[in-house]
Structure 1
Amino acid sequence: MKPPAYNAEEVQQISQEQGERNVAMAVCVQLAGRAIIRVVARCEEAQDNRNLDLSECQLMQVPDAVYHLMRHTELKSCDLSGNVITKIPPKFAVKFSLITELNLSHNQMSKLPEELSELQALERLDISYNAFIALPVVTFRIPQLKRLLANNNSIIEIDVEMLRHSPALEFIDLKENPLPARIHDHLQDLSLRLRIDLSSRQREEWEDLSV
């Protein structure tokens, strides 16, 4: 079989496209390399100050290498904000069991693993600016959790009874969520027990009907 024949113009176009692909690949490799260097450097810092800051590191998940690098460090806090993480693996709670603060804001998460309830020392959890449509019930089972930031999500569902019986929760931020009026009213009834920040109650369509 004869190889396909190209004229000079087609050869030039193919060569240009290949060159553009090579440049794009080189840029991606360079960016990935910088991201890896940044992650390793921040893990080394955390070995000294016990505060792991992996914010704005272009992460789609927590790399296994992070668990390996931090295996001899008892972390106090972990910041994973400003990435494109969609989920946290169950082993996270096992590897970082002593953290008191966890920042997962500005990611693309819609669920949390049940294993987070094993974070016995966690007092502050930030899941704001994500893609949650229901407030994760595991947050009501974290024994020492005092502050929960869940603003700027798409939350329409909350188990108010479980929230009522959360063991240590003192403050929850639910601003900028499309909460149904019924849930909004139930949450206001809880305001004597804990502090809840809410956006203005949205009127239901039937409430706008004139009698």
Structure 2
Amino acid sequence: MRPPYKEEVQQISQEQGERNVAMAVCVQLAGRAIIRVVSRCEEAQDNCNLDLSECQLMQIPDAVYHLMRHTELKRCDLSGNVITKIPAKFAVKFSLITELNLSHNQMSKLPEELAELQALERLDISHNTFIALPPVAWRIPQLKRLLANNNFIIDVDVERLRHAPALELVDLQANPLPPRLHDLLQNLTGIRIELSPRQIEDWEDLNV
């Protein structure tokens, strides 16, 4: 086996150096993110409003539950992260929240345990990857406002929506709702449904 040439050694050394720099930057960014999370948890201990928006989170760190264990949270903002799911224990640990903002994440479903949030009045799941309006929404007893705009929703259980205990407003704008579902939602009474204009199907276009 021939020894590596000087140029190859230099290239390997340069690549290793670049990797080390990249790793150092990542560690520095991660450190800043951790410091930010801890700082915001400390703020929430005073004002009962946990703001973890734009914290580069892929999930809710267990440390958050530990830091907030003696605080009765009223609002929780997890927007602007890359979270894919909310764990079942969230509803147990933060059972008294009235507002939950999950917008601008990567979620496609919610745990059924969110129905245990007895005080939750406002839920924002906009700008995620939902293809159906999550069924748990009908079971949250005090939920008044559900923001689900800018998803990929094509399925809504209209009958269950109609009988939701407290819902007053559902925002479904900027979703690819099928025309028939769009019509059903538009004619729903008792709940304010916000919709984008219905897409005209090919067979309806009289100009063709």
TM bin, normalised by shorter chain, reads over 0.9
Matched letter for residue 79 of structure 1: D
Whole-Å Cα distance in 1 between the matches of residues 131 and 186 of structure 2? Answer: 20
Where does the alignment leave 5 or more consecutive residues of structure 2 unmatched? none
Superposed CA RMSD in Å reads 1.2
Percent identical: 82
Structure 1 counterpart of 2:194: 197
Structure 2 counterpart of 1:28: 26
Aligned pair partner of 2:142 in 141, 144, 158:
144
Structure 2 counterpart of 1:47: 45
Whole-Å Cα distance in 2 between the matches of residues 210 and 55 of structure 1? Answer: 47
* Residues 176-197 of structure 1, C-alpha deviations (whole Å, 9 max, x = no match): 000001111110111x311111
Whole-Å Cα distance in 2 between the matches of residues 195 and 29 of structure 1? Answer: 47
Alpha-carbon distance, 1:7 to partner:
1.1
Alpha-carbon distance, 1:207 to partner:
2.1
Where does the alignment leave 5 or more consecutive residues of structure 1 unmatched? none
SS of the equivalent of 2:170 reads: strand
Whole-Å Cα distance in 2 between the matches of residues 121 and 194 of structure 1? Answer: 20
Alpha-carbon distance, 1:158 to partner:
0.3
* Residues 148-192 of structure 1, C-alpha deviations (whole Å, 9 max, x = no match): 1000000000000000000000011110000001111110111x3
Matched letter for residue 195 of structure 1: R
Matched letter for residue 169 of structure 1: L
Matched letter for residue 202 of structure 2: E
Structure 1 counterpart of 2:171: 173
User: 1:20-99 counterparts in 2 under 5 A?
Assistant: 20-99=18-97
**TM-score of the two chains, using structure 2 as the length reference:** 0.97
**TM-score of the two chains, using structure 1 as the length reference:** 0.96
* Residues 125-168 of structure 1, C-alpha deviations (whole Å, 9 max, x = no match): 00000000000010111000000100000000000000000000
SS of the equivalent of 2:10 reads: helix
* Residues 82-115 of structure 1, C-alpha deviations (whole Å, 9 max, x = no match): 0000000000000000000000000000000000
Query: Compared with structure 1, are the counterparts of its residues 209 and 5 closer, same or farther at alpha carbon in structure 2 (3 Å cutoff)?
Result: farther
* Residues 34-60 of structure 1, C-alpha deviations (whole Å, 9 max, x = no match): 000000000000000000000000000
Identify the range of structure 1 (198-207 vs 12-21) with the bigger mean alpha-carbon deviation: 198-207
SS of the equivalent of 1:57 reads: coil
Structure 2 counterpart of 1:208: 205
Aligned residues: 208
Whole-Å Cα distance in 2 between the matches of residues 36 and 66 of structure 1? Answer: 10
Structure 2 counterpart of 1:12: 10
Structure 1 counterpart of 2:114: 116
SS of the equivalent of 1:44 reads: helix
Aligned pair partner of 2:181 in 180, 183, 202:
183
Whole-Å Cα distance in 1 between the matches of residues 70 and 76 of structure 2? Answer: 15
